[in-house]
């Protein structure tokens, strides 16, 4: 089988790396010896688990005594990656610096510094507990000592400007929490992330864009090899995990097919085809039989069969079961209770525990409770909103009191909002960011369900064309604290919904209400009830105007009659000598 010339560089690189990455072998003498042995075109990486960083040393082929160095952060801290809805990527290659000579790398002080980086964490992430700051050892360490400070210690280091921008690539970050005795999957380890970055960097520097195809093939071949070796050594792998891995390999091969383009080198073309065929052959060998699911079905049947009573003794249990069924049906009819099922299959008796009997809204949970139970009541109400509110709205709209649905929901939300704000954010005690995030999700869920149901109504279909613009809403999602994946999925669905309606061309309900395109104007023009009301108002205005005109005309006529009488009157005056005036 043909082998690419770049593999000799990779093999030499990983041989040197394996020696010094082991803490027991990483000494000043070994470091100096390996750096001295590097020839033009060689690479030497090193991963510092204690610093959450990695470095890469390269001997430039054009400048033998002027090595190239680079460094980068390996993993992102949990407070960045855990609450985020979007995947995080790092861009490569990172900035490369050129040293004037190799003597600084070979110095004892520098080698001792690298060993100290490997063994001792310089700075941990900080956490606030009881008004004091402590080191969070389960978080990834601060990496700027290697990523920034280390390079500044070299004298006359210059930025290397020969990096080809066409070979840029990205690496996806995965969350991790460090713990001394925890079992960390290799795909989430910092060392595996560093291996991928180093491998990809060397391949694209040597093979340009073709290096990405070679890299993806090597990773797919490595995964196939690991599975094949496990199975050949009689290692048991569950069929569901095996099928998950095989689907991932097949998807990787399909992506490689899309990236393939005419390659100038016949050697690379031949190698790519050979590796693809080898992977396909191994996949065919390790793929389970098409009937592998039948064994699972048989196991389920056997488990259920163990629970069955003797087939010839049906009379011993049929009669009690009939009685039990009648008893349950009787209780359901007497209490008029309703059951809701959440997505995990647990049942909640709404009539007695979660919902009110009059409208099935869990309103009573939020009133007249002591502080010890308010948190539980809010959590149960939020779970009900997420999993049962949509079904309640549908059933309420279909009932005879459908016109009261949103009025009841508004009253419930006001009660929930008052209770949640007092509990999650109070001036008398510390705030609860996780609870406050649940409150925001519950509020947005109610708004979305109301909006969706109104859009389905023929009278309000124009709402689909109008924007929903809540100030700073989309930016708010970045600050949510979501501890589990289901909350993240729920938040992502809400984000997509409101982002879609934030881009609508027509204004939202409260903006430009006098505009021709506003919802209120359009609704009034198309509503028959509104038009009839406007006609009645106009008729009443005309009638009032007519009545007022007649009233004014009558008043004028009466005034003219009175004025005529006044003009016709004669003045009769008599003098009073004593007081010197005339009386008329």
Q: Is the pLDDT of residue 68 over 90?
A: yes
Handedness of CA 253, 257, 259, 261 (dihedral sign): positive
Task: Give tens-digit pLDDT for 197-237.
Answer: 999 999 999 888 888 999 999 999 999 998 988 888 888 88
pLDDT of residue 314 exceeding 60? no
The pLDDT, as a whole number, for residue 419 is 86
Q: How many CB atoms lie within 10 A of CB 5?
A: 10
Of 244-248, 273-277, 289-293, 451-455, the poorest mean pLDDT is in 289-293
CA angle 169, 174, 178 (to 5 degrees): 135
Pair of tokens at residue 559: 């005034």
Q: What is the mean pLDDT of residues 408-426?
A: 85
Q: Which residue has the tokens 């004014």?
A: 552
What values do phi and psi take at 512, rounded to 5? 50, 50
Is a pLDDT exceeding 90 seen at residue 111? yes
Mean predicted confidence (pLDDT) in 555-563? 89
Contacts of 167 by beta carbon, 8 Å cutoff, 6+ apart: 93, 204, 205, 208, 209, 211
What per-residue confidence (pLDDT) applies to 335?
A: 45
Is residue 19 within 8 Å of residue 25, measured between CB atoms? yes
CA distances from 297 to 154, 288, 292, 302, 317 (A): 65, 16, 9, 9, 27
Q: Is 58 or 237 the better-scoring residue by pLDDT?
A: 58
SS3 227: helix
pLDDT at 560: 87
Q: Distance between CA atoms of 190 and 74, rounded to whole angstroms?
A: 6
What pLDDT is attached to residue 96?
A: 92
Cβ-contact 132, 125 below 8 angstroms: no
Supply the pLDDT for residue 177. 57
pTM of structure = 0.52
Beta bridge pairs of residue 347: 341
If you average pLDDT over residues 350-367, what whole number do you get?
A: 52
Please, what is the average pLDDT of the chain?
A: 79
Pick the range with the lowest mean pLDDT from 53-67, 281-295, 479-493: 281-295
DSSP states of 408-454: HHHHHHHHHHHHHHHHHS-TTS---HHHHHHHHHHHHHHHHHHHHHH
Query: Between the ranges 60-69, 256-265, 366-375, where is the mean pLDDT highest?
Result: 60-69
For the chain, the straight-line distance linking the first and the last C-alpha, in angstroms and rounded, comes to 140
Q: Which residue has the tokens 């997420």?
A: 386
d(CA 251, CA 216): 11
Spatial contact of 383 and 341, defined as CB atoms under 8 Å apart: no
Question: In this predicted model, what pLDDT tens digit does every residue of 2-38 receive, in sequence order?
Answer: 678 899 999 999 999 999 999 888 899 999 999 999 9
Note the residue count of the chain: 584
In this prediction, residue 46 has a pLDDT band, given cuts at 50, 70 and 90, of very high
Q: Which of 408, 299, 407 is nearest to 363 (CA)?
A: 408
pLDDT of amino acid 19: 92
**pLDDT over 90 percentage in the chain:** 23
pLDDT computed for residue 81 by the predictor:
75
- 8 A C-beta contact, residue 480 and residue 434: no
What burial letters (b/e) apply to 494-513, b meaning 16+ CB within 10 Å? bbebbeebeeeebbbeeeee
pLDDT tier for residue 338 given thresholds of 50, 70 and 90 = very low
Q: Which residue has the tokens 């390659």?
A: 263
Is the pLDDT confidence value at 305 over 60? no
Read off the pLDDT band of 353 (50, 70, 90).
very low
Q: Could you tell me what percent of the chain has a pLDDT over 70? A: 73
Task: State the helix-helix crossing angle for 190-207 and 6-21, rounded to 10 degrees.
Answer: 150
Provide the pLDDT for residue 415: 87
Q: What DSSP element (H or E) covers 493?
A: helix 485-502
């Amino acid at each position: 089988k043909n082998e690419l010339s770049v593999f000799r560089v990779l093999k030499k690189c990983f041989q040197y790396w394996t020696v010094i990455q082991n803490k027991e072998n990483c000494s000043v003498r070994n470091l100096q010896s390996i750096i001295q042995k590097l020839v033009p075109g060689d690479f030497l990486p090193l991963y510092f688990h204690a610093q959450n960083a990695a470095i890469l040393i390269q001997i430039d082929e054009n400048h033998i005594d002027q090595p190239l160095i680079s460094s980068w952060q390996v993993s992102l801290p949990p407070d960045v990656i855990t609450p985020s809805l979007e995947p995080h990527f790092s861009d490569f290659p990172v900035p490369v610096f050129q040293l004037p000579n190799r003597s600084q790398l070979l110095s004892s002080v520098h080698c001792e510094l690298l060993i100290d980086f490997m063994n001792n964490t310089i700075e941990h992430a900080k956490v606030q507990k009881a008004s004091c700051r402590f080191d969070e050892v389960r978080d990834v360490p601060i990496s700027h000592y290697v990523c920034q400070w280390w390079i500044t210690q070299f004298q006359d280091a210059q930025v290397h400007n020969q990096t080809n921008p066409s070979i840029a690539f990205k690496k996806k970050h995965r969350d991790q929490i460090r713990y001394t005795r925890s079992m960390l999957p290799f795909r989430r380890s910092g060392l595996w992330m560093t291996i991928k970055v180093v491998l990809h960097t060397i391949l694209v520097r040597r093979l340009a864009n073709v290096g990405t195809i070679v890299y993806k093939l090597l990773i797919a071949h490595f995964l196939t090899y690991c599975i094949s070796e496990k199975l050949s050594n009689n290692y048991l792998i569950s069929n569901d995990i095996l099928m998950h891995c095989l689907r991932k390999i097949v998807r990787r091969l399909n992506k490689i097919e899309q990236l393939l383009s005419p390659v100038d080198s016949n050697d690379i073309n031949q190698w790519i085809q050979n590796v693809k065929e080898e992977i396909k052959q191994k996949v065919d060998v390790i793929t389970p039989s098409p009937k592998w699911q039948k064994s699972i079905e048989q196991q389920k049947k056997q488990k259920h069969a163990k629970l069955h009573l003797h087939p010839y003794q049906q009379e011993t249990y049929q009669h009690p079961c009939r009685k039990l069924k009648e008893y349950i049906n009787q209780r359901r009819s007497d209490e008029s209770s309703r059951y809701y099922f959440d997505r995990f299959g647990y049942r909640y008796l709404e009539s007695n525990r979660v919902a009110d009997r009059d409208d099935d809204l869990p309103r009573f949970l939020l009133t007249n409770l002591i502080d010890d139970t308010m948190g539980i009541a809010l959590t149960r109400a939020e779970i009900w909103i997420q999993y049962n509110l949509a079904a309640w709205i549908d059933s309420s709209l279909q009932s005879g009191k459908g016109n009261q649905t949103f009025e009841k929901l508004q009253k419930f939300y006001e009660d929930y909002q008052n209770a949640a704000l007092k509990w999650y954010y109070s001036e008398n005690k510390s705030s609860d960011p996780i609870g406050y995030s649940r409150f925001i999700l519950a509020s947005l869920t109610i708004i979305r369900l109301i909006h969706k149901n109104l859009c389905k109504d023929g009278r309000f279909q124009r709402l689909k064309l109008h924007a929903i613009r809540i100030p700073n809403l989309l930016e708010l999602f970045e600050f949510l604290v979501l501890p589990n994946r289901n909350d993240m999925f729920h938040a992502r669905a809400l984000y997509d919904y409101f982002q879609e309606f934030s881009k609508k061309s027509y204004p939202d309900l409260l903006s430009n209400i006098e505009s021709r395109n506003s919802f209120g104007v359009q609704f009034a023009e198309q509503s028959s009830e509104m038009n009839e009301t406007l006609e009645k108002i106009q008729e009443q205005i005309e009638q009032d105007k007519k009545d007022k005109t007649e009233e004014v005309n009558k008043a004028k006529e009466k005034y003219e009659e009175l004025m005529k009488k006044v003009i016709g009157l004669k003045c009769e005056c008599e003098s009073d000598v004593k007081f010197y005036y005339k009386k008329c």
